[in-house]
Amino acid sequence: MAATTQRAARSTRLRATALALAATAALAVGAVGAPSHATAPARGDAAPHRGPSPFTGLTAPQGPVLAVKFDNARGARPHTGLDKADIVYVEKVEGGMSRLMGVYSSKLPKTVGPVRSARESDIELLRQFGHPALAYSGVRSSLQKVLRDSPLYARPHGRAPGAYFRNGYRTAPHNLFLRPAALLRTAPRASRPTDIGFRFGPAPKGGTPTERRTVRYASASHTFRWSPRQGRWLASFDGAPARSTSGSRLGARTIVIQYVTMRPSRYKDVNGAVTPYIETVGSGKALVLRDGKRYATHWKRSAATGGTSFTLANGRPMPFAPGQVWMVYADRR
């Protein structure tokens, strides 16, 4: 009888030990599989998790961050894949022309383009994204080492030839296109999205009713007209509607016109024109266009590794409308 009791007790202890080990193993697996908030960049080949995007405010896959430099000359239009970007930047370049940069994470089109060259100030602008991948067609030889030694995963045409191709229906230099997924395979440690200062939510009180707003450079204009029917601002370049190759009109629910210093850089293009350096670290005025109104705001970015805050006169954050955001750089005034 005593022996039977001892065997039962021993069996009970063994079952308890087995359950404890199983529970510990389950917890360990859960810890490994849980999202990491470490500062080290996530591997680009890891499966993206879904969550609220810090770039759009929408729930979406959080894939690696890829920035693509787009040509915006008349011969480069319409653009491919720009409508799928989380953020679109409008930048001034030599001769008062403009270039675009699309930042991708939530959606990754099969192809994007046409792709053109990067600029020195792109490094400062993109540092807020951690260590993103950057796709571009090339740069002046004097700038190549600067980009190569930067914290970005610089992947020009020459370093990722399999990711780029020439479109036979376009003429050079407006015919270089990119396969984003192929390029990201060459940058497996590209950072995942983090907070860059954007805030999303209902429109605040106030604001000035606005039908359209234009930002002009010496040789380019960018107009945004509010469409009540579509509930977003429709973009035009140089007076012509901006469209995607799919036929859809380009535009967004939120347009940010950020007034910054655009000083001459130490670099020139092949024709000897000086390249502007866009200073995105600092502070100044900005206009935020959303819901058919414009809001006067103040922007501040203390360091290249930090994001940009946009605040109203009362000191509260200026909320953006969820969705794609356009950032348009204008000369400080």
Say what the pLDDT of residue 272 is: 72
Least confident among 66-70, 181-185, 269-273:
269-273
154-205 residue pLDDT tens: 999 988 989 999 999 999 999 999 999 999 999 999 999 999 999 999 999 9
% of residues, the chain, pLDDT over 90: 77
Is the residue at 43 inside a domain? no
Confidence of residue 304 (pLDDT cuts 50, 70, 90): very high
Q: Which of 18-22, 52-56, 297-301 has the lowest mean pLDDT?
A: 18-22
pLDDT in tens, 129-139: 999 999 999 77
Residue 32 lies in a domain: no
- Give the integer Cα–Cα distance in Å for 296 and 69: 29
Residue 20 lies in a domain: no
pLDDT at 161 (0 to 100): 85
Q: Distance between CA atoms of 257 and 275, rounded to whole angstroms?
A: 21
What confidence category does residue 47 fall into, taking pLDDT thresholds of 50, 70 and 90? low
Q: Is 30 within a domain?
A: no
59 in a domain, yes or no?
A: yes
Min mean pLDDT across 107-111, 141-145, 322-326 is at 141-145
> By three-state DSSP, how is residue 206 classified?
coil
- Dist CA 122 CA 13 (whole Å): 64
pLDDT at 20: 38
How far is residue 189's CA from residue 186's CA, in Å, rounded to a whole number?
A: 9
| pLDDT recorded at residue 138 | 78
In a domain, 5, yes or no: no
Which range of residues forms the domain containing residue 119? 48-333
Is the pLDDT score of 223 beyond 70? yes
269, burial (CB in 10 Å: exposed 0-12, middle 13-18, buried 19+): middle
Strands (E), 204-324: 208-209, 212-217, 220-227, 232-237, 240-241, 251-252, 254-260, 262-268, 274-278, 282-290, 293-301, 309-311
Cβ pair 103, 53 in contact under 8 A: no
Q: What's the predicted TM-score (pTM) here?
A: 0.85
114/75 Cα distance (integer angstroms): 10
Check residue 270 and give its pLDDT: 67
pLDDT band (50, 70, 90) for residue 36: very low
Q: Chain-wide mean pLDDT for the chain?
A: 87
Q: How far is CA 297 from CA 5, 100, 217, 290, 300, in A?
A: 78, 23, 22, 13, 10
Provide the CATH number for the domain around residue 98.
3.50.90.10
pLDDT at residue 139 in the model: 73
Q: What are the angstrom distances between the C-alpha of 300 and each of 143, 198, 274, 281?
A: 28, 12, 27, 7
Measured CA angle at 324 (ends 321, 326), to 5 deg: 95
The answer to whether residue 160 sits within a structural domain is yes
Q: What is the DSSP string of 78-122?
A: SBBSGGG-SEEEEEE-GGG-EEEEEEESS---S-BB-B----THH
Mean local confidence (pLDDT), 221-242: 98
Is the pLDDT assigned to residue 292 strictly greater than 90? yes
Tokens 């360091």: give the residue: 303
List all residues 6 or more positions away from 229 whose beta carbon is below 8 Å from its beta carbon.
none
Rounded average pLDDT over 61-84: 97
Asked if pLDDT for residue 124 goes beyond 90, the answer is: yes
114 in a structural domain:
yes
Q: Quote the number of domains for the chain.
A: 1
Of 34 and 144, the structure prediction assigns the larger pLDDT to: 144
Predicted local distance difference test score (pLDDT) of residue 46:
57
pLDDT at residue 269 in the model: 72
pLDDT of amino acid 65: 98
8-35 pLDDT per residue, tens? 444 444 344 433 333 333 323 232 222 2
